[in-house]
Amino acid sequence: MRKKRFEGQRAQGIGIAQAEGGSQATVNIDHAYYGPVTQFLPPSRSEARNRHQLLARVRSDWITGILERSLHGAALIDLGFQEEPDAVANPWRFVVQESNGSARTLPQGTPITQVYDEAGKELLILGEPGSGKTTLLLQLARYLLDRAELDESHPIPVVFNLSRWAVKRGPLAEWFVDELHARDGYGVPRERAQGWVNEDEILPLLDGLDEVAPEHRAACINFINAYRRDHLLPFVVCSRSNDYAATSTQVNVRRAVTVLPLTDKQVGDYFQEMPSNLKSLASAILRDKELRALMRTPLMLTIFTLAYGSEEAPSLDARLAAEADLERLFALYVQTMLKRRGQLRGCSSDQFCRWLGYLARQMHGHNQTIFSVEDLQPDWLPGSQSSGYNKITRALSKRLQGKSIESSKLHRTDRSGLRPNEGTWLSLKNGLIGTGRLVAISALVTAIAIAGRSPAGSSNSPVYTPVRVPGSLQATQANESDIWGFDEWGNFINHFTVRFLLSRTNALPWNLIAFLNEAVERRLLFKKGGSYIFAHHLLLDYFAGKRMRL
């Protein structure tokens, strides 16, 4: 939505007032002041198209791709909320005397959309792992997308994962522009993204504050608060309760709520809606203290249901107490998911899990929650393969006019990036174009040189007419060697060298895309555009061998 600002001015004169009965009266106007006014102009056709494309991309990536496939989808329970007035740095809470530390429980069945509206559209959502924070955020995103599609003046709701902020750790406005522009973000042209952020056209929905490393979390909150001071617009943040409480700085929003654990009645009611082979679980769980403590979140209810809901699942009676161990329960869930669509193609279950484990450990090590194939760089290689990578790239560097490719990064296109591996093949395409350009220019220069040779039989010694290379081309050769595709070839060779070495050591399969898509089919990963994300952060922790905390 374009904005036009009119400066204030004074006015004097005579006006006409309309009385209720219909009569009119003359009124003297003395020094009436018209202050600055911001007028919202209808968007141009290109602006409307860009807005529609971003709304569609957010809906495709997060609603269709994640929310509608969410593990919580099997556990549709009305979650309870409790206000946490002491969890936010809102100075107005002292004025309205909300600083007594009391936490008010909201009425059961209050939807997250109502919580958001009553919070003045400034909300912090807290909860334990698996409590449904991200699901609630995405439900809110769907509601706001519907609003934005009906109202052109409504800001565009965009989901951002703060684990990606931790890469550069800069001001939020700059990071929003980078994420909107990135190929594995939203693929918006940078100029358009910058304009949207400057004009407060973006409504940020921030997930994963707890995924920022503890030593950087306070700085992240400070950047959030700085952005909030400069941009007065709706804002939502999600975080795990314990990680947020351990941080010295608080988010400056109007309201914070904690997602409450499920009650015994909610757990019992949930299982009563399940097939008959699962109804007996309710009484068994409620009798077992350890299991009852484990089944307090929608995620764990869903994991338990999927793990024991198939015909291949083991009998519950003998293993009930043992499965109160979180790692054992996730292991059973994974094995059930691997069997639910028949045999794996081309590998065993153990091998498939080893590949997922390597992927999860590398994502943990690089502080990533979203994986793109183009993220594979030399630092993903096992230590034993580093020397092999260096030998290959040094040998190939000599072939590329001595240009080093050891530190090349894969091409990031400005397009939407809906296909995995798109950056890899774009690097190959641009490399071929550059090589073709070099061959064509070389042939042209050679032809001009031959044409300038003195005619045969001339008494003079052969003389060649100097070939004048345009200054712009000389500058391009000197300063932008990638016009010949060397950088793109470097990107392509770099990527496939890494892929080859990872495959040779069996750290990851050669046909990586097929493996990732197989994991999506079995509900271990979700697909977000051309990228992939583990079905839940706890599942990422499980495969990475990290301690799982509820």
Q: How far apart are CA 549 and CA 546, in angstroms?
A: 9
User: Does position 308 have pLDDT exceeding 50, yes or no?
Assistant: yes
Instruction: Check residue 464 and give its pLDDT.
Output: 40
Residues 6 or more apart in contact with residue 95 via CB below 8 angstroms: none
Instruction: Check residue 382 and give its pLDDT.
Output: 79
User: How many alpha carbons lie under 13 Å from residue 47 in its C-beta half-sphere?
Assistant: 14
pLDDT band at 303 (very low <50, low <70, confident <90, very high): confident
Beta bridge partners of 157: 203
pLDDT higher at 450 or 61: 61
pLDDT higher at 500 or 51: 51
Strand ranges (E), 341-423: 370-371
Q: What percent of the chain has pLDDT over 90?
A: 37
Nearest to 205 by CA among 112, 298, 78, 118: 112
End-to-end distance of the chain based on CA atoms, in angstroms? 43
pLDDT higher at 283 or 481: 283
Q: What percent of the chain has pLDDT over 70?
A: 64
Tokens linked to 155: 């800001």
Beta bridge partners of 16: 26
DSSP 105: B
User: Does position 509 have pLDDT exceeding 80, yes or no?
Assistant: yes
Nearest to 302 by CA among 13, 523, 31, 42: 523
Mean per-residue pLDDT, 208-221: 94
User: Does position 28 have pLDDT exceeding 80, yes or no?
Assistant: no
User: Does position 474 have pLDDT exceeding 50, yes or no?
Assistant: no
Mean per-residue pLDDT, 499-519: 90
Mean per-residue pLDDT, 441-462: 53
Confidence (pTM): 0.73
Instruction: Check residue 532 and give its pLDDT.
Output: 92
pLDDT band at 97 (very low <50, low <70, confident <90, very high): very low
Cα torsion 243, 249, 251, 254 to 10°: value is 110
Judged on CB neighbours under 10 Å (0-12, 13-18, 19+), 219 is middle
Out of 74-78, 244-248, 500-504, 514-518, least confident range: 74-78
pLDDT digits (tens, 9 = 90+) for 108-124: 889 999 999 999 999 99
Give me the domains of the chain, ranges plus CATH numbers. 2-41 (no CATH), 45-259 (3.40.50.300), 341-455+480-550 (no CATH)
Q: What are phi and psi of 155, to 5 degrees?
A: -60, 155
Q: Which residue type is seen at 147?
A: R
pLDDT band at 458 (very low <50, low <70, confident <90, very high): very low
pLDDT higher at 297 or 400: 297
Side by side, which strands form the sheet with 202-207?
81-83, 255-259, 122-127, 235-240, 202-207, 156-161
- Give a three-class secondary structure readout of 246-288: CCCCCECCCEEEEECCCCHHHHHHHHHCCCHHHHHHHHHHHHC
Instruction: Check residue 3 and give its pLDDT.
Output: 53
pLDDT digits (tens, 9 = 90+) for 37-85: 555 566 678 888 999 999 999 999 999 988 888 765 545 688 999 999 9
Mean per-residue pLDDT, 161-180: 92
pLDDT band at 188 (very low <50, low <70, confident <90, very high): very high
Instruction: Check residue 20 and give its pLDDT.
Output: 47
Nearest to 69 by CA among 13, 8, 134: 134
